[in-house]
Amino acid sequence: MLQRVFPVALILAVAGFVVAPFLIAGAPYESTMGLVQKIFYYHAPSGMMMFLGAFVSGTASAIYLMKGRPGADRLAAGAAELTVLFGLIVLTTGPLWARKAWGVWWQWDARLTSSLLVWLMFTSYLLVRKYGGPGSDKLAAAVALFGMANVPFVYISVNVWRTLHPKTTVIPSLVPGMRGPFWFATATFLCLFLALLAVRVRLGERQAQLDDLYRAVDDDALEEE
Amino acid sequence: MFARTAWLVFRKDVTVEVRSRETIATTLFFALSAVLVFAFALVKEGRVVADAAAGILWIAIAFSATLALGRTFERERYGDTLRALMLAPADRPAIYVGKLAGVFALVVAAEMALVPLVAFLFGAALLQRPVLLTGLLLAGTLGFLAVGTLFAAMLARARSRDVLLPVLLYPVTIPVIIAGVRGTVALASPAPDEAMALFWLTLLLFFDVVFVTLALWTFEPLMTD
């Protein structure tokens, strides 16, 4: 299914990223923040993709643990990489904006902290996969599953601890001129997400096939001896 | 049968510990050293930074619990008894419960020494509401170890397990640390805020329920090759 989506998603994403700057430039300026506010069109959609990736990875990991399907594991691994990638975009564009809007690079604010924590959980997922040795795919699946289950706890605990970030309720309250470009940017990021996920899962499949072939060759060599 | 298996694993761990006192002695001494490091960082001109005691207490608990978790499974691995445990015709989740109970008893024993020590060294009024504080400590320790026991068990066979355990464990258990520290701060302030402490205690209990359930459910597929 993902493979059929790939060409469409890729073309839409490329076209979207070509058109998006014009739409964003045409959108009205925010009255108090001015030009810096425009980073929001990249920042917020990346944040959404990051949480989407976490959700996909956690769900696919649960399926892998239950059913043991290798395909679910490849999907989980691809989605986890995207979580970390889009998380990096969020954690780079956030401080750039914060420096202008709040006057500091980093604030221990609720949403910043929880984004950082989700990013950390999925980075640790990738670390286990890379350095855990044999059998680490199951271990990593547990990390992703626990990471997903942890999102509400992180969200609640960090929210009670601190709040400074503009609430997500800012999105429905956008002026009409900003709403169009924002949802356009979100759709573009979603296409990019799907295209990258499809290509990553495909790569995983090919790697698995190659490993099987190597194993078959080794077995043949043993038999001949 | 389930309870009996869990009890036997628990009793074995406690007996080994009571005879050698290896983990409790090293864990306590490590906690003490960690507290000292924080004292040098957080005591300024003879005075403790506000609310530091609660933070120091929970960091010391988290660090020493990590050490205890590593030791418990290192001992099994060293004697090659983990494989024997897994080969035994017993419920896997029961083995998990037994292991969890063993480390829990150990860490609670360490906390009994740690809490008065931190209260004494930093002049913190930790014991104003002993029942609520005990609740926070027990619920927090259980949540931390519920995730920790599962991860340590899985890592027992992985490469670079010593470094991977904290890498995986800390991001997932951050809600426990936030709830523990904030709850303790609420109780240790001159006018104890019981409602706030109760909120954090409730969050910890929810965390315990979710993660003990998830761990029981995933222990079987994770420990099967």
* pLDDT tens-digit map of A174-183: 667 777 888 8
Q: Which of the residues in chain B have pLDDT under 50?
A: none
Contacts of A68 in chain B (CB under 8 A): 221
**Ramachandran sector of residue B45 (left: φ over 0; alpha: ψ -120 to 50; beta: rest):** left
The predicted-structure confidence for A154-174, as pLDDT tens digits, reads as follows: 888 877 776 555 555 566 666
Task: Determine the pLDDT at residue A170.
Answer: 61
Q: Do B203 and A135 touch (CB under 8 A)?
A: no
Whole-prediction pTM value? Answer: 0.85
Q: What is the 3-state secondary structure (H, E, C) of chain A?
A: CHHHHHHHHHHHHHHHHHHHHHHHHHCCCECCCEHHHHHHHHHHHHHHHHHHHHHHHHHHHHHHHHHCCHHHHHHHHHHHHHHHHHHHHHHHHHHHHHHHHCCCCCCCCHHHHHHHHHHHHHHHHHHHHHHCCCCHHHHHHHHHHHHHHHHHHHHHHHHHHCCCCCCHHHCCCCCHHHHHHHHHHHHHHHHHHHHHHHHHHHHHHHHHHHHHHHHHHHHHHHHHC
CA of A85, closest CA in chain B: separation in Å? 18
A11 CB within 8 Å of a chain B CB: no
Q: Do B172 and A150 touch (CB under 8 A)?
A: yes
Q: Do B218 and A65 touch (CB under 8 A)?
A: yes
For residue B58, how far is the Cα from the chain centroid? 10
Range A8-17 average pLDDT: 87
Model ipTM value: 0.82
Q: Between B171, B203, B210, which is nearest A121 by CB?
A: B171
User: CB-based contacts of A3: which residues, under 8 Å, 6+ apart?
Assistant: A198, A202
Structural domain that includes position A65? 2-224
The interface residues of chain B toward chain A in range 126-165, judged by CB-CB distance below 8 A, are 147, 150-151, 154-155, 157-160, 164
Q: Between A142, A147, A153, which is nearest B150 by CB?
A: A142
Q: Do B207 and A153 touch (CB under 8 A)?
A: yes
The H or E element spanning position B1 is: none
Question: How many distinct structural domains can be found in chain A?
Answer: 1
B198 CB within 8 Å of a chain A CB: no
Task: Determine the pLDDT at residue A174.
Answer: 67
